[in-house]
Amino acid sequence: MQYLSENHQSTDREKIFILLLLVFLVVGLFALPYFADMAFINAMVLVCIAALYAMGYNLLWGQAGLISFGHATYFAFGASCTIMMMAGIEGGSSFPTPFLPLVGGAASFLIGIVAGWFATIRTGVYFAMITVAITELARAIVQRWDTVFGGEAGITSIRTAWGPFGFQKLIDVYYFTLVWTIICIILLWFLQKSPVGMVIRGIREQEERVRFLGYDAHALKTLVFAISAGVSGMAGGLLAFTNESTNVTLYEGAYSTTVLINTVIGGAGVFLGPVVGATLTTLFGYYIANLTFHWLLYMGLLFIVIVVCAPRGITGLGVDAVMHIRSGARLPWRLICKQILGWLLLSIGSVMIIEMVGAVLQPSYGALARSSGVAWPPVNVFGINWSPSSPLTLSGIALIFVVALVLLRDTASSAHRNVLKLAGAIVQKPEAGS
Amino acid sequence: MDQFLIALLNGLVYGLLVFMVSAGLTLVFGMMGVLNFAHASFYMLGAYAAFFSGRYVGFWGGLVVATVTVGLFGLFSERLLMRKVRSFGHTQELLLTYGLFFMLEEVVKLLFGPTPVAYNVPDELRFTVFMIGNSQFPFFRLLMGITALVMFFGTYAALRFTRIGLIVRAAVERPQMVSALGHNVSLVFSGLFTVGSALAGLAGAVAGMYYPTSPAMAQELGSIVFVVVVIGGLGSLNGALAASLLIGVMTSFAVGVDSTFGDLLRALGLDVFALPGFEAVQFSAIAGVLPYALMLFVLLWLPAGFAGNRA
Amino acid sequence: MKKKSIIHVAGIFVSTMLIGSAIAQTQIDVILPITGPTAGTGELFKNGVDFAFGEANDAGGVHGQKIAPRFLDDGGTTQGGTDRLRQAISGGAKIILQGGGSAVAAAISADVKRWNERNPDNPVLLIMMGAEAAQLTKKDCHFYAFRTSTNADMRVKALVKALSENNRLGSKVFAINQDYSWGREMDAAVKENAAPYKYQVVGSVLHDVNKIQDFSPYVERIRESGAETVITGNWARDLLLLMQSVASANLKAKFATVFLDEKGNIASAGRAAIGSYVATPFVAEAGGAEGEAYLKKFNEKTGANPVSAGNNAVIAIRLLSRAIAAVPDKDMLNPTAVALALEKTTAPWVHGEVSIRAEDHQLRLPLVVGEVSTEAKFKLDGTDMGLKPVKTLTAAETEVLPDGSCQMQRPK
């Protein structure tokens, strides 16, 4: 996998542009509570937590080239330890509330050292499977050990005020989470830029050479694993802080897979890629889940589309565009518009089919058909009632698909070729107007 | 003695079921270096395909349809999807199979609902084949075992004694060399993937009758199958069989044991380690965890598994 | 794809605003697991809710207004439950219904309690339609939480009472349950009822939840113990596999269960289910003409059978709509007023009147113990088997009195 963000130095103009963009974003995030409702603020808290979790996870993937399939353990352990400390504070301890995420982070860092030492003995698929084995073992132990971890009823506590901070309102929690997330991301940035980061990337590319240079590759990989676990643990701690409760379901596979999906969709090669992925999937799950009951299927399809057509994620596409502009060519706007329209139509068509099939196969649909006497009662998609048997509906959907496929026909293979070109697999040939 | 025999037989049958599913997975991994997360989903698809078609073509017809359908589906996903991402590396293929696994469960929920479906052993096959003490051993369990054994011997014989088996085995070891000798290696890959998927589909069709057929089938069996494949050695059919039987029997016996960790520690004289909450935990309760512990052990110290040929 | 994501995000914002502006006065939020691992249970609740709201509206609604449910999907997770609760509250909801498992219910109940403590002039009322964990109406009770389902104690009492009075219980009972709060409560309840109902608990097992592939070793243990009845609170896969193992091992013990009638279980268990018992809120054949009419109307409206949890939803909404009707117009959605009314309301139910206890907000509900049989009048799950009633127990007979561990803070 090509890691474009490191191999191509940004020009000064680009650096300023990106910096301004980030500043604008941060200011917007701080100003958010003034024009958003409680549901959205709650969603953004979750977005920050998912983003931090994904950034910690990507330290292992993007920097060290190790894909973990069992990161939920460190996330959940951070949450558990934090909630225990919160209960301790509630019981009279004088530990300052604002430092709670550090508890989760430190705890997960420690178990990350142990787990990482074992896991980094191997690489590749074997590494992935070791992480799976560790996470399954941890889950089984934790689910049994009720006295400490609370079982599926979990542990509950409350946020205790500290100094001038009340922490009782959602807005307080939002700022708390935002500040910690930004601090951690900045620290991760400096880690990436530091000599340690460079050696880690060296290990990713050519481990043997790095070892010949005198570095202890195993120790370094363990360190990276531990830091990654620690950051994930901090994210878990923030989750415990906002929910004021944890339970053992946090240790289950679903929390390992969501962070993987976030990173893939966002792009592991760009520093802030996972943040983009985390934001998208969290908001998607939060809001789309209210509109349709098949949102998991849509997310799965989106994931597959990204894996097949945009293997370096959404930010990867952005970087491709930047590369294109840098090489002097202009962005092919006509092609991009065709792509947007084609994919939009394809999405609409797929959504219509899936929603209609889902509605028709429900038992209540059959009941409605029987009681109303109409053979095919209408199904509501996008706010309009469509009758599944009417030729208008069927031909409309078919038309949408045909148009979409015509628009995408020539773009699919060219997209593929472009990526391969950039990956160095195909020698660049001058092309007319691509 | 009866208890022991029953536990042993039950463990063997369960192990053979796991083998049916893991056989295809281990061959595909050994050959292509791709760990197909969606393999357990093919198992689930087989069960649903047999359920759906069984209503029209009868029980045996349902088995055939399931095998063929899932095999074709495997071929389709290999040719259309996995080929596209192969140029981007093994990681992308892994992620794609993961996405497929995720998505297939949702598709099944969309089409058949989230609750288990009525896919049962047909009445004419519900009879006892022999008795052990007071216990009856149903014919259907025997059928599952026989199917698995036939699968094993058939695949083994095909790989060992036929020309195409020779090519497949060679392609697993040295794909480029075999290609240089003029064989169409990509066709061999596709064929192997198809056969592996078809085997998983057959396993699903047979097992789905005995075990509940629901969208959660894939997840339930999926992790055990990976454990088996790792322990047995990626790429080795014999290893997969041995590991499946081992896991099946181990789980079966561990569940039957009544003592707790506390008992064990006390027996060894290590009373001091008997922490409250931990010492009351029974062995049977961790029956599900033993396979993972073994998997961890193997991965760390015997990465080629017991019989594998890849480090 | 970058463009597609922008469009997705734009779509999300637009739809958020649309949703925000579309909340009507008489909308009641219902949090259910519509997707996720417990989606099957969510479907049962949804059918019950749809039916009950339709029934209430057909009778004219409340205070002349129609009431409508807004479904929020919690995905079967506690995080999802917390998220949807916050979404509901920020959308202005005052009365919230929740269906699903105990863990999610407990999390939502704790969240509601904290919200009410932090916002005493803006409380929120929660009705848990299906959670069976005992603590919800014991240690964790609070004024604005109501539970319209039974718990382990009630179910076990109903089972052993009905079976022993019909001489089907025997004197040796084996308890096999899942190793988490629900299973442990079932286990304790079986042991507690041994003396009054004169049976001996010859063995008890707590096993991993949804992890066991093969119950044969447990079946052998049951056989060795010589048990005549096996009482289990298992659900879904654990129940199905257990019953399959027992049937194929030709064990003669009878099953007394709690969740056997949930959709898909009887179909999946097949012949292994015959002769098993279940204690459930509704059995059509036991309800006479009224039962048959209810079954028919439910089928017409939802295309499904009213089994298990679906009935809890119907009961909850019948009680709720009567409580709302009992308060003055202006207090229609006032949580405190409605809560006080709920404590005094009764609602009609096929097997006898239902009401809620004021001390701990636990439902008083009649239960029917039925036997799975091919001779039943009404078949389930599209099979040729249904539930034949053994005994109907009144609300007074199933009631398990509060033990005083619930200390509720009542509003002034």
C343 and C257 in a common domain: no
How much is the pTM? Answer: 0.84
B81 touches chain A (CB under 8 A): yes
Mean pLDDT within B233-251? 85
The least confident of A401-415, C47-61, C366-380 is A401-415
CATH code at position C167: 3.40.50.2300
In a domain, C324, yes or no: yes
Q: Residues of chain A with pLDDT > 90: what percent?
A: 35
Residues 6-65 of C with CB under 8 A from A: 7-9, 12, 15-16, 19-20, 34-35, 47, 50
Give the count of alpha carbons within 13 A of A190, CB side only.
Answer: 5
Facing residue for A304 by CB, picked from B99, B111, B113: B99
Task: Give dist(CA C246, CA C222) in Å, integer.
Answer: 9
Interface contact B99-A300, CB threshold 8 A: yes
CB-CB contact of B21 with B152 (8 Å): no
CB-CB contact of C85 with C127 (8 Å): no
Q: Is the pLDDT of residue A262 over 50?
A: yes
Interface contact C12-A283, CB threshold 8 A: yes
CB-CB contact of C99 with C42 (8 Å): yes
The least confident of A31-45, A411-425, C1-15, C54-68 is C1-15
Q: What is the structure's pLDDT at C11?
A: 42
Q: Residues of chain A with pLDDT > 70: what percent?
A: 92
B38 touches chain A (CB under 8 A): no
Q: What is the structure's pLDDT at B258?
A: 59
Q: What is the structure's pLDDT at C2?
A: 45
SS3 for chain B is CHHHHHHHHHHHHHHHHHHHHHHHHHHHHHHHCCCCCCHHHHHHHHHHHHHHHHHHHHHHHHHHHHHHHHHHHHHHHHHHHHHHHHCCCHHHHHHHHHHHHHHHHHHHHHHHCCCCECCCCCHHHCCEEEEECCEEEEHHHHHHHHHHHHHHHHHHHHHHHCHHHHHHHHHHHCHHHHHHCCCCHHHHHHHHHHHHHHHHHHHHHHHHHHCCECCCHHHHHHHHHHHHHHHHCCCCHHHHHHHHHHHHHHHHHHHHCCCEHHHHHHHCCCHHHCCCCCCCCEHHHHCCCHHHHHHHHHHHHCCCCCCCCCC
C231 and C375 in a common domain: yes
Q: Which residues are CB-neighbours of A109 under 8 A, at least 6 positions away?
A: A226, A227, A229, A230, A233
Q: Is the pLDDT of residue C5 over 80?
A: no
In a domain, C132, yes or no: yes
Task: Give dist(CA C364, CA C386) in Å, integer.
Answer: 26
In a domain, C288, yes or no: no
Q: Is the pLDDT of residue A403 over 60?
A: yes
In a domain, C62, yes or no: yes
Q: Which domain holds residue C57?
A: 2-150+296-364
Q: Is the pLDDT of residue A399 over 60?
A: yes
Facing residue for C3 by CB, picked from A244, A245, A340: A340
C257 touches chain B (CB under 8 A): no
Q: What is the structure's pLDDT at A99?
A: 92
Task: Give dist(CA B73, CA A289) in Å, integer.
Answer: 29
ipTM of the complex model: 0.83
Q: Is the pLDDT of residue C360 over 60?
A: yes
Q: What is the structure's pLDDT at A414?
A: 59
Q: Which residues are CB-neighbours of B121 under 8 A, at least 6 positions away?
A: B140, B209, B210, C270
List beta partners, residue C177.
C206
The least confident of A239-243, A418-422, C17-21 is C17-21
The rounded mean pLDDT for chain B is: 81
Q: Which residue matches tokens 């980094």?
A: A120
E strand intervals along A263-390: 379-381, 384-386
Confidence of residue B264 (pLDDT cuts 50, 70, 90): low
Q: What is the structure's pLDDT at B308?
A: 55
Residues of A with CB below 8 A from C89's CB? 38
A162 touches chain B (CB under 8 A): no
Q: Is the pLDDT of residue B261 over 70?
A: no
Mean pLDDT within C191-215? 84
Q: List, for residues B107-150, the tens digit of each pLDDT value.
A: 998 898 887 787 877 777 777 777 776 667 778 888 888 888 88
- DSSP line for C4-41: HHHHHHHHHHHHHHHHHHT--TTEEEEEE--SSTTHHH
User: What's at A336, amino acid-wise?
Assistant: I
> How many other CB atoms are found less than 10 A from the CB of residue C299?
17
Q: What is the structure's pLDDT at A427?
A: 44
Shortest distance between the Cα of B13 and any Cα of chain A, in A, equals 24
Interface contact C250-B135, CB threshold 8 A: yes
Task: Give dist(CA B259, CA C98) in Å, integer.
Answer: 40
Residues 216-255 of C with CB under 8 A from B: 216-218, 220-221, 223-224, 236-237, 240-241, 244, 248-250
Q: What is the structure's pLDDT at A273?
A: 92
> How many other CB atoms are found less than 10 A from the CB of residue A391?
8
Confidence of residue A431 (pLDDT cuts 50, 70, 90): very low
Q: List, for residues C253-273, the tens digit of each pLDDT value.
A: 888 999 888 887 887 777 778
Q: Is the pLDDT of residue B73 over 90?
A: yes
Interface contact A144-B113, CB threshold 8 A: no
A161 touches chain B (CB under 8 A): no
C258 and C129 in a common domain: no
Q: Is the pLDDT of residue A224 over 80?
A: yes
Q: List, for residues A145-155, the tens digit of each pLDDT value.
A: 777 887 777 88
Residues of C with CB below 8 A from B253's CB? 217
Confidence of residue B52 (pLDDT cuts 50, 70, 90): very high
Q: Is the pLDDT of residue C178 over 60?
A: yes
Q: What is the structure's pLDDT at C18?
A: 42
Q: Is the pLDDT of residue C205 over 70?
A: yes
Q: What is the structure's pLDDT at A59?
A: 93
C89 and C60 in a common domain: yes
Q: What is the structure's pLDDT at C16?
A: 40
Shortest distance between the Cα of B226 and any Cα of chain C, in A, equals 16
Tally of domains in chain C: 2
Interface contact B109-C179, CB threshold 8 A: no
Q: List, for residues B124-135, the tens digit of each pLDDT value.
A: 777 777 777 666
Residues of C with CB below 8 A from A296's CB? 35
The rounded mean pLDDT for chain C is: 85
C313 and C220 in a common domain: no
Interface contact A129-B299, CB threshold 8 A: yes
C141 and C33 in a common domain: yes
C137 and C58 in a common domain: yes
Q: Is the pLDDT of residue C313 over 90?
A: yes
Q: List, for residues C97-139, the tens digit of each pLDDT value.
A: 999 888 889 889 999 999 998 888 889 999 999 888 888 888 8
C385 and C275 in a common domain: yes
Residues of A with CB below 8 A from C48's CB? none
Mean pLDDT within A277-297? 87
Mean pLDDT within B7-31? 84
Confidence of residue A73 (pLDDT cuts 50, 70, 90): very high
Q: What does DSSP say about strands B128-132 and C68-73: parallel, antiparallel, or unpaired?
A: unpaired
In a domain, C291, yes or no: no
Residues of C with CB below 8 A from B135's CB? 220, 223, 249-250
In a domain, C382, yes or no: yes
**Domain spans, chain B:** 2-219
In a domain, C406, yes or no: no
C210 touches chain A (CB under 8 A): no
Q: What is the structure's pLDDT at A85?
A: 93
Interface contact B110-A357, CB threshold 8 A: yes
- DSSP line for A245-276: EE-GGGGSHHHHHHHHHHHHHH-SSSTTHHHH
List the end-to-end C-alpha distance of chain A, in Å, as a whole number: 24
User: What's at C360, amino acid-wise?
Assistant: D
Residue predicted with more confidence, B31 or B259: B31
Q: What is the structure's pLDDT at B287?
A: 67
